[in-house]
Structure 1
Amino acid sequence: MIKFFRHIRRNLMETGKTGKYFKYAIGEIVLVVIGILIALQINNWNEDRKLRTVEHAILQNIKSNLIDSKSKLDRVVNRDEEQIKHYKRILHYIDQDLPYNIELDSSFIYISTWASPYLTYIDYETLKTKGLDIIQNDSIKNGITYIYESAFAWLVDDFDRLEWARAENVTIPFSEKHIRYNIENNLARPNDFEALKTNDEFINILNNNMYFRKNGIEACKRINKEIEEVIQMIDKELKQHD
């Protein structure tokens, strides 16, 4: 009987030890899992921090590109406004039937010229290679995409291409027949100004040139306003990154 109770006692003690070892093993597993989760979280945090650093740099560069493009569009506006003044000067002489004046030499040089928008795409192309989703703010991402893929694309592929077509098919052929150019001094003079006064094609060219320049001015100003809105959003985002 005494041996039986000793056997029971020994089994209970061994069972108690097993329970303790099981609890210890569970605790070790929990600690390992927690460690893994913490390591994964730290790794994700580091990766996210790297992406945010890349995003910050891209936004700064795109902002710089947009500022540069905005400046170029301002120059296009100034050039177009200046050309309109020259066209109006020539039309004034025609409407008033005035004799040719040497001051018109600086106006006729602009008959077949226009200001093309040479915009800056470098860092937008970089953004596309890295993926647009690197930019977390959807408003900024959509704004940048609109500026480059829609506004700039229309200005370059549609409006400026039409200017090229007009120049190649209308204004340049006409100028080569009726105008002598002094390229070195950036001056030009018609072969026969009195004949041009009654030349309907020439009058149409002047009026169409003014129409296109006015449209160009309106387009550039509108796009510059849209650029400024995107720049302001980028500035706000960059401040949050800092």
Structure 2
Amino acid sequence: MIKFFRKIRYDLMEKNKTGKYFKYAIGEIVLVVIGILIALQINNWNELTKKRNTEIEILVGIRNDILRDTIDINFNIRGYQNIIKRDSFVLHHLIKKKAYSNMFAQNLHSIANLGWSVVLHEAHFQEAKQRGLSIISNKEIRNEINYLYGFKYSGFKSKVNNNDRYKHNELLKHTIGNYFSYDSSGVFIDKESYAKLLSNKNSHYYIKRSSDMHKRLLNFHFNTLSKSIEVAQLIEKEIVYLKNKY
């Protein structure tokens, strides 16, 4: 192709057609410039496509991590709902000074020994932070994700996993641990120990405090679950938008 254009230029010069030669030269320059612009445009388009695909990949990963978190949080919610029922059963039993039953012993033992921690999935969010959160082009989505992980999840993990204020079952275990006995059939409380437990107001107080903390932790789970679902839905809409953008 270059040889073809070169031959045309030589022919025009040999025939002393200077005007036509300059017009042709300008036209050739215009064609070259257009070709360069097209190449740049294609390159820019390819770069935008790569950037978009990377952003989609990151968002899909974060969304999937959040959805995994909702499964784990729901598991804990069911656990806390169950333990709160046990709290209520035990407190009612003590307040009414009802006759001893094996079910009472089993429920009391459960509320003193059961507890749930939480492990959240943050791999794709951490990857986004390493790349720079600006890789997420939508500022609103970026802020919502950063708020979820940087504030909501951080506080949630602190309360559930690390804050002694919410671990009254540990104190409860220490307070009522001596009342229990064990045999081949499981846990039980003998007659004398049960009579002491009924009259021990401190134990009643710690059981009530433990129940209150279980309710507060349940609310933390519900609040975090609600925000997680909200952010996951926003990300899903953004993924659909990005896939249809180009």
Q: Decide: shared fold, TM above 0.5.
A: yes
Q: 1:140–1:234: 8 Å Cα contact kept in structure 2?
A: yes
Equivalent residue pairs, number? 227
Larger Rg: 1
Report how far residue 26 of structure 1 moved: 4.1
After superposition, the C-alpha distances for 1:14-65 in whole angstroms (9 at most, x for unaligned) are xx96665555444444433332232222112111101111222222222111
**Number of the residue aligned with 1:222:** 223
Does 2:146 align with 1:149?
A: no
Q: d(CA) in 2 for partners of 1:143 and 1:180?
A: 51
- Whether the 8 Å contact between 2:159 and 2:166 is mirrored in structure 1 is no
Secondary structure of the corresponding residue to residue 204 of structure 1: helix
Q: Deviations over 1:103-134 (max 9, x none)?
A: 12321222143221222222222222222111
Contact preservation (8 Å) 1:112, 1:167: no
Please say if residues 87 and 206 of structure 1, whose CA atoms lie closer than 8 Å, have aligned partners that are also in contact. yes
Identity %: 29
| TM-score, scaled relative to structure 2 | 0.79
TM-score (norm 1): 0.80
In the alignment, the residues of structure 2 paired with residue 44 and residue 178 of structure 1 have an alpha-carbon distance, to the nearest angstrom, of 74
Which residue does 1:202 correspond to in 2?
203
Closer, same or farther: CA 22–188 of 1 in aligned 2, 3 Å: farther
Aligned-residue offset at 1:163 = 4.6
2:105 and 2:187 in contact (8 A); partners too: yes
Segments of 5+ residues of structure 2 without an aligned counterpart are 1-15
Residues 137-172 of structure 1: CA deviation (Å, up to 9, x unaligned): 222211111111111110112343125873596234
CA positional deviation for 1:91: 0.9
CA contact (8 A) 2:168 2:213 kept: no
**How far does residue 178 in structure 1 lie from its aligned partner after superposition?**
3.7
Which range moved further: 225-234 or 123-132?
Answer: 123-132
For structure 1, the 5+ residue unaligned runs are 1-15
CA-atom RMSD, angstroms?
Answer: 2.9
Partner of 2:7: none
Please name the residue that 2:128 is paired with.
Answer: 127
Rounded to whole Å, the distance in 1 between the matches of 2:55 and 2:71 is 24
Q: Pairwise mapping of residues 28-43 of structure 1 onto structure 2 (< 5 A)?
A: 28-43=28-43
